[in-house]
Each structure stands twice: as structure tokens, then as C-alpha cells.
């Protein structure tokens, strides 16, 4: 949504060359190898993920992977997807106001468009803006989220420079209904369930969310910037012992978000973004003794209408996607996977007439995966034929070694690319403004290197990752909002995560250090903190569970000024009244902290700086009934 505004306001600075302090690696690895803790033993759950388009144990994926499941979503009582992601290591979330507003979701310091968003494995988002509006993805539609970090273009193609977020939709076992109310006239109603008849299982979900919100931006007419989201989805699975598994999936959401624009007149309050998104996909897969085949076809629409003081604009992306994936098990240690991927992006239904209305991408990839008793390795190569930019070849090479039954060391190198968006290339200039598009832009290209160590104890799990991601021809806006290719940007850092159970408490702690700079100028990337810290402590007391979250972000460069550091505390609790009824409570910004997350612009006559407003202390209370 709000794409014409974002064309002017998105400003990701480019990044440069700072060497990591080797002491950080030494200390982190030493801490992992020497870690021990006493308490009641509880085996860490072995998780299966689809990071390489087929199911693997998370311990065999030679990359940094995080998984958020439905139980975690419900226990946290979080109300939107960006807030949920902000608790994960490597993420920084910069909202332009409250619910439904444009929100920068940065993975390892890169821009929002540098992380590929999938829903049930299907590419999603706007081809004009180049990213998915995660604020509009309803949490009630999500069963689990798989986050794979590092350049993943060898498997998924364009846009996966920083990683991939695969959102897997609901698969409810029982019928449940819930209602939540909170600050700013917040209300949310959800229903989810499933029906099984013979070999056919149908899961469904629906929701309605609305809030009056609060004033998003200082310096323009004060008003309430509300948000509404109506959504529904279904998932039908049919299993046949002879012919395989068939599925039909659909998700639909529509709504609006009022917002404030720095480019509108000071007394304007008409800014509004309406959205209407849907995705429909069908698939088949069949497993044999030593091989697996799957075919998926999907159609989707990302439709946003922007109303601002300079007019009404429609931005519509229609996408068709076709995938074939296969896996062949050659031996107990070695398997081969590969596939063909084709998709078409069509923006011809937008009110803006682009010089080029659509483009096709056809790709093939093949990968080899070796998993012996101690040694793991994989090599994947992909060739993308972009109708507009020609051929792009990408690869991922990774190796791992099981230091013990519980500890795995990994090292990888991968490449990626991102094609310029239709807005970057062809968007016409606003009246009275200089050109805002550049048809001579080249695709961004990345080289990602990472080393990591994962250790699973009986009562704890530790992961350390050190990475460097160099991006050539990084697309950015200059001082006149004109898109250009920078020479090279560098993102490098260290991430540490520790999950443990001690004295009956569940503790999830993570921190990250990140350097993000333009290699040529040394300028810091805007809106990216060097140091981030998250810690959640949870405890079960019979039928009652409670959790306390703390989130720290260090100071960072903004658009026009340097933004200060801040620490936020959130509290959540759930009480199981009986086997059917549960009540919940969430308090955000527990100590009513005043802080600035994102700045907008400065008044050149007075020097006053205007910020996007952040929420005060907020309360949410709800109840759910499970049949």
C-alpha cells in the first residue's frame, strides 16, 4: 500500500567495509562449547523444515534457520506479524506509526525488499514496490513461519538477498473462536477449524481486525490513523495411496490503513491505503521408494489503492507461478534435488502506465546433498532467464561437520540477485518533482559468506552465526529521490541465540552486532542499529502461563537525524479456565516508554524534526473457546 508515498520516503543507505572483531567469534564459540546448566531434563524438539524445497531436519540445513510455530504465536498474544518477527535474532522493525502502517522489516540490515516472502511456498508481494506489506498479513492465517537467512537465490531466485520467509497457513485440528479487545478501540475476531471426510481434510480460517489507531506522523494535521483487515482462507488436502497427495489452498484479505505523508500539506488528513490481496494455488506430490515429485501452480493478486493529496493511484500486480520440484535419493548419504520454476508478473492493470507492463522469468536449478555420519555438504546451482535482464546464475555451496552428537559446525558461501522493480525503472515523476525512476538500473548482486555453530543440549539450544553479505549495484535513492546503483554495500555481523529451560523457566535470549556501511563512503545504513537484544522469560503455573519480553535497540542514523537507543518491555499471560475456554492478556510498552523509532523530515525554517509516533502503553485482553 501507499506506494506513491514510499517512492519518495524509502531511503536505504548503502553499506561498506568494517572487519569483524575476531574476539567476538572466539568468545561466542567458547561460551557455546563450555555451556552447561542444571535443571529438569527436557529434550529439544526436532524440527523439520523445507528450506531447500524438500523436508529436512533443521539440524541438517547448513544455514541459519528460525521457526515460529502456532503455539508460540498464541502464547505471545502478539497482534501483528512485524512485531512477531522483531523478537527474532537478526530482525529490525521500523514502523511508520501503528497497526497497518508501512513498516520496514530489515533482516541483517538489508531493506525490506531484499527478503523474499513466500506464502505456502508461493512468491508473493508487489512487483511495483518490490516487497510484501507484512503489516497486512493476518496472524490468524499462520500455522508456522520458517526463516532462512543468507542469500537463497540458488533455490528461490530473485529477491532472496538476505533470506527467505516462508509463511505456512493454518492447519487447525479443532474448531476454535476468539475475540480480543484493546487500546485505541482495537477489536479482533477469529475462527479456525478443520473438517475431515474420508481421505479429504479441509482446514479454514477467517478473521476481522479493526482499530482507530493513533496519529502516525508529527507535523501534519493530528488525526487518528485507523486500520481494518478482513480475511479468510482454506486448505484442502486429499490423499490417495496410489496417485499421491493433492492440495488446494486459498487466502484472501482486504482492508485499509489511514496514514500520514510528509509530502502532503500540513492540514491534510485524507491519506489512505486500501488493499485487496488473494492467492489461490493447487498442487500434487508423490513419494516413491527413492524419489519424490511435486507440481504446484498458483495465481495471486496484490492490489493497493493509494489516496493522497495529489490524487488516487492503483498499483496492481497479477502473478502466475508454476513449479516442478523433484528429489532423488541415490544412496543413504547422497540425494539430488532440482526443479523448474516459471512466473509472470503483470502490472498492466495499475493506473500508472509503465513503459514495460509485464515480464517472465524461467529458471532451472539442481542441487546435491551429502549427509554422512560426520560430514554434511551441499551444492546448488540455479539459472534464471529474466525476460528483461537476461541470464543470472547463482549458487550455494555449504559444508558442515558434526563435532559431536549435539554440536554441528557449518560454513557456506552463496550468491544472489534482485531485479529492479517496475517503480524503480519506469514510474513517472510527480508534478513539480525531478524524475523518480531510472530505466538504466542494473540488478543487484550479492555474495554471502557465513560460518556458524549449533549445539542442542538436553535442556538448551545455542546457535552462533557470523556473516558477511556484499551487495554490488545496490539500488538506492539519492538526495533527489532518484534511484541509482551504488558500487558496493557490505553487511556483516554476529548473531547469538540461546534457548534453555532452567528452574522451570523457559528462557529465549538473542543478540546481534551488525555493521552496515557503504564501502566507498563509509556512511552508515539508515535506520539500522548496530546492537540489538531480545530476551523472553516464560513460566507455567498450572493453568496459568506468563511471559516477560525485553527488547533493546541501540542508537542509529535516521533520515535527517541520529535516533537514540531504547528499551521496551512487554508482558503476556494466558489462563486456561477449563478444557474449552482460555483468557489472555498482553501489555505492550509496559513502562510507557517515550521513544522515536523512525524520523521523517525536518522543517527547514525552524529546524524542528518530525518523527513517526510510537505507541504508548497498550492493553489487549481476549478470550477463546475451543470446541
Q: Which domains are delineated in the chain?
A: 3-626 (2.40.170.20)
| pLDDT, position 280 | 97
Q: Over the chain (627 residues), what is each successive 10-residue block's mean pLDDT?
A: 43 34 42 39 52 80 92 95 96 94 94 93 93 95 95 93 95 93 98 94 97 94 94 96 95 96 81 96 94 96 91 95 96 95 97 93 97 94 94 96 92 95 89 83 95 90 96 85 86 96 92 92 90 97 96 95 97 97 98 95 89 97 97
| pLDDT, position 117 | 95
| pLDDT, position 479 | 73
Neighbours of 444 (CB within 10 A): 26
Give the integer Cα–Cα distance in Å for 580 and 603: 56
**To which H or E segment does residue 556 belong?**
strand 556-557
Give the integer Cα–Cα distance in Å for 611 and 602: 9
| pLDDT, position 257 | 97
Q: Which residues of 454-464 are buried (b: 16+ CB within 10 A; e: fewer)?
A: bbbbebbbbbb
Task: Please name the residue that has the C-alpha cell 506506494.
Answer: 3
The residues near 373 (Cβ < 8 Å, ≥ 6 apart) are 402
Give the integer Cα–Cα distance in Å for 50 and 67: 11
**To which H or E segment does residue 27 belong?**
helix 22-34
Give the integer Cα–Cα distance in Å for 47 and 575: 27
The residues near 45 (Cβ < 8 Å, ≥ 6 apart) are none
| pLDDT, position 115 | 95
Give the integer Cα–Cα distance in Å for 117 and 622: 29
| pLDDT, position 49 | 65
**To which H or E segment does residue 70 belong?**
helix 70-76
Tell me if 306 sits within 8 A of 313, measured CB to CB: yes
Q: DSSP readout, 248-275?
A: EEEEEEEEEEE---TTS-TT----EEEE
The three state secondary structure string of 152-219 is CHHHHCCCCCCEEEEEEECCCCCCEEEEEEECCCEEEEEEEEEEEECCEEEEEEEEEEEEEEECCECC
Region label for 159, one of left (φ > 0), alpha (ψ between -120 and 50) or beta (otherwise): left
Give the integer Cα–Cα distance in Å for 401 and 372: 9
Task: Please name the residue that has the C-alpha cell 558461501.
Answer: 413
Task: Please name the residue that has the C-alpha cell 502516525.
Answer: 216
Tell me if 217 sits within 8 A of 614, measured CB to CB: no
Q: DSSP readout, 393-424?
A: EEEEEEEEEESSSSEEEEEEEEEEEEPPPHHH
Give the integer Cα–Cα distance in Å for 450 and 61: 13
Give the integer Cα–Cα distance in Å for 252 and 278: 4
Question: Could you tell me the sign of the dihedral formed by the alpha carbons of 345, 346, 350, 354, in that order?
Answer: positive
| pLDDT, position 48 | 63
pTM (2 decimals)?
Answer: 0.91
Give the integer Cα–Cα distance in Å for 556 and 532: 11
Give the integer Cα–Cα distance in Å for 574 and 580: 13
Give the integer Cα–Cα distance in Å for 444 and 471: 7
**To which H or E segment does residue 4 belong?**
helix 3-9
| pLDDT, position 435 | 82
Give the integer Cα–Cα distance in Å for 448 and 465: 12
Task: Please name the residue that has the C-alpha cell 502490472.
Answer: 347
Amino acid at each position: 500500500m501507499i506506494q506513491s508515498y514510499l517512492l519518495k520516503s524509502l531511503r536505504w543507505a548503502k553499506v561498506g567495509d568494517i572487519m569483524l572483531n575476531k574476539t567476538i567469534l572466539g568468545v561466542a564459540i567458547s561460551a557455546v562449547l563450555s555451556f552447561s546448566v542444571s535443571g529438569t531434563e527436557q529434550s529439544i524438539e526436532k524440527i523439520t523444515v523445507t528450506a531447500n524445497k524438500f523436508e529436512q531436519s533443521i539440524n541438517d540445513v547448513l544455514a541459519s534457520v528460525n521457526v515460529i510455530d502456532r503455539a508460540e504465536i498464541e502464547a505471545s498474544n502478539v497482534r501483528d506479524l512485524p512485531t512477531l518477527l522483531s523478537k527474532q535474532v537478526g530482525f529490525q522493525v521500523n514502523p511508520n506509526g501503528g497497526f497497518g502502517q508501512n513498516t520496514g522489516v530489515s533482516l541483517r540490515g538489508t531493506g525490506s525488499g531484499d527478503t523474499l516472502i513466500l506464502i505456502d511456498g508461493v512468491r508473493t508481494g508487489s512487483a511495483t514496490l518490490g516487497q510484501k506489506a507484512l503489516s497486512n498479513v493476518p496472524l490468524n492465517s499462520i500455522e508456522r513461519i520458517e526463516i532462512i537467512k543468507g542469500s537463497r537465490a540458488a533455490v528461490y531466485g530473485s529477491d532472496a538477498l538476505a533470506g527467505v520467509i516462508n509463511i505456512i497457513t493454518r492447519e487447525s485440528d479443532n474448531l476454535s473462536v476468539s475475540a480480543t479487545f484493546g487500546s485505541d478501540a482495537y477489536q479482533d475476531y477469529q475462527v479456525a477449524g478443520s473438517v475431515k471426510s474420508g481421505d479429504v481434510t479441509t482446514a479454514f480460517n477467517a478473521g476481522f481486525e479493526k482499530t482507530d489507531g493513533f496519529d502516525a506522523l508529527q507535523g501534519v494535521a493530528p488525526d487518528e490513523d485507523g486500520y481494518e483487515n478482513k480475511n479468510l482462507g482454506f486448505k484442502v488436502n486429499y490423499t490417495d495411496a496410489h496417485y499421491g497427495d493433492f492440495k488446494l489452498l486459498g487466502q484472501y484479505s482486504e482492508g485499509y490503513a489511514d496514514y500520514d505523508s510528509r509530502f502532503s500539506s500540513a492540514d491534510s488528513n485524507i491519506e489512505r491505503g486500501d488493499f485487496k490481496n488473494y492467492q489461490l494455488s493447487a498442487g500434487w506430490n508423490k513419494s516413491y521408494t527413492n524419489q519424490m515429485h511435486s507440481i504446484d501452480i498458483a495465481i495471486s493478486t496484490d492490489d493497493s489503492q493509494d489516496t493522497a493529496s495529489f490524487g488516487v493511484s492503483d498499483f496492481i500486480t497479477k502473478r502466475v507461478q508454476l513449479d516442478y520440484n523433484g528429489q532423488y535419493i541415490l544412496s543413504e548419504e547422497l540425494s539430488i534435488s532440482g526443479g523448474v520454476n516459471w512466473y509472470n508478473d503483470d502490472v498492466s492493470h495499475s493506473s500508472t502506465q509503465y513503459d514495460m507492463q509485464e515480464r517472465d522469468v524461467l529458471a532451472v536449478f539442481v542441487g546435491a546433498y551429502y549427509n554422512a555420519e560426520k560430514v554434511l555438504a551441499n551444492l546448488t546451482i540455479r539459472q534464471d532467464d529474466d525476460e528483461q535482464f537476461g541470464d543470472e546464475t547463482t549458487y550455494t555451496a555449504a559444508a558442515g561437520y558434526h563435532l559431536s552428537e549435539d554440536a554441528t559446525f557449518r560454513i557456506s558461501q552463496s550468491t544472489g540477485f534482485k531485479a529492479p522493480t517496475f517503480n524503480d525503472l519506469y514510474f513517472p515523476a510527480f508534478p513539480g518533482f525531478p524524475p523518480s525512476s531510472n530505466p538504466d538500473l542494473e540488478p543487484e548482486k550479492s555474495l554471502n559468506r557465513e560460518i556458524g555453530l549449533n549445539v542442542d543440549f538436553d535442556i538448551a539450544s545455542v546457535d552462533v552465526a557470523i556473516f558477511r553479505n556484499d551487495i554490488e549495484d545496490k539500488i538506492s535513492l539519492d538526495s533527489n529521490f532518484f534511484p541509482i546503483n551504488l558500487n558496493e554495500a557490505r553487511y556483516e555481523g554476529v548473531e547469538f541465540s540461546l534457548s534453555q529451560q532452567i528452574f522451570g523457566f523457559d528462557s529465549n535470549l538473542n543478540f546481534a552486532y551488525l555493521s552496515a556501511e557503504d564501502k566507498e563512503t563509509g556512511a552508515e545504513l539508515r535506520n539500522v542499529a548496530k546492537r540489538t537484544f531480545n530476551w523472553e522469560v516464560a513460566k507455567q503455573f498450572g493453568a496459568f502461563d506468563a511471559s516477560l519480553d525485553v527488547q533493546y535497540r541501540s542508537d542509529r542514523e535516521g533520515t535527517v537525524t541520529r535516533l537514540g537507543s531504547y528499551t521496551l518491555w512487554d508482558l503476556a499471560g494466558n489462563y486456561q479456565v477449563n478444557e474449552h475456554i482460555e483468557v489472555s492478556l498482553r501489555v505492550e510498552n509496559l513502562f510507557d516508554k517515550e521513544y522515536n523509532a523512525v524520523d521523517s523530515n525536518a522543517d527547514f525554517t525552524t529546524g524542528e524534526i518530525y518523527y513517526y509516533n510510537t505507541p504508548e502503553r497498550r492493553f489487549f485482553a481476549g478470550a477463546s473457546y475451543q470446541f
